[in-house]
Amino acid sequence: MTLKQYNLERHAEKLRKQINNWDREDADEMRDLLIEFQRAYDKLEREGVTISEIDGSDLPSEEFPEGFDTTGYWALDKNGYAVCGISWEEHELSVEKIE
């Protein structure tokens, strides 16, 4: 492993900790962390370095409203905004207000 790969791996693990410890205050922050993690993950994978992915079903989140279809919704903040999108692996996430 090169020093560059090592540093990128450390950066990805730091992002993973930030994601796991998200305070649920700002969905924009979670969206940005997920995208940045995936970019680091993708780059490491292209270079032959394997790290574990993030489990989307295990992200910190406020409870979604009862009966709400959470397909494509990943994490809800305390203000009612959710990170959403088909897949963060494609870096296509947005933030929407949940009514």
Residue-wise DSSP of 9-56? HHHHHHHHHHHHT--SS-HHHHHHHHHHHHHHHHHHHHTT---PPP-G
Residue 60: predicted pLDDT: 97
pTM of the entire predicted model: 0.91
Sequence length of the chain is 99
How many CA atoms within 13 Å lie on the side-chain side of 52? Answer: 6
Please choose, from the candidates 23, 34, 98, the residue with its C-alpha nearest in 3D space to the C-alpha of residue 68: 98
**In angstroms, what is the C-alpha Rg of the chain?**
14
* Rounded average pLDDT over 28-53: 94
* Rounded average pLDDT over 27-50: 95
Q: Average per-residue pLDDT in the chain?
A: 93
Read off the pLDDT of residues 76-86 as tens digits, 9 standing for 90 and up: 999 999 999 98
Residue 88: predicted pLDDT: 66
